[in-house]
Structure 1
Amino acid sequence: ATDMRRLFLLEGVAIGSAGSALGWLLGFSMVYGLSLVRFEIAATGQEMTHLPIAWSVLHYIIASAFAIGSAAVAGYLPARRAAQQNPVDIIRGAS
């Protein structure tokens, strides 16, 4: 029972980590692309030529924590239910 929970939890964390790394790459690429956009506007009294983008590693860390945390919870909840089942019944297809 404990091994099954651990396996599901580890799988959830691995999927969350992979998704988080892919999200970091995609998010950073999009923010970097937006930072390269040039335009000219002087409506506020100040001339702007680039979008005001906040670059912060803290944003990436917070997003990763939520992604990995939610993936761990999503892995643990089915594992808790599966651990209560008899493995032989699961293999036979009983509900």
Structure 2
Amino acid sequence: GEEEPRHFQAQVDRLHEQIAAAQESATRTRAAEVAAHRAHLQATIARLEAEVSALQGHRPSPQTSGPEVLPAPGPQARAEVPMRRQSVAGVNRPAGSQPLPL
């Protein structure tokens, strides 16, 4: 009789630990997806800026030190596109739906 409640309590404690670990892991995964998406956007912006500066006859734009700093448009710029499109769509969540550590 005495053992059962303690046994159940131990199971409940283990489940709480597993839930906490899963939530922590999900938060880390989410933060990694956001960081990957941000890196992809920055690479895209850099590529577009490089194309614009090439079209403008290589005049350096004020916010960059010159076209030589930017990656040339080409296959290496496209390599950063994430294969899973769903994770990219999930980034456009309404603010406040889930706080993320930056």
Task: Using structure 1 for the length normalisation, give the TM-score.
Answer: 0.42
Q: Which has the higher helix share?
A: 1
Q: Which has the higher strand share?
A: 1
Q: Quick check: which has more Rg, 1 or 2?
A: 2
Q: Which has the higher contact order (CA 8 A, sep 6+)?
A: 1
Task: Using structure 2 for the length normalisation, give the TM-score.
Answer: 0.39
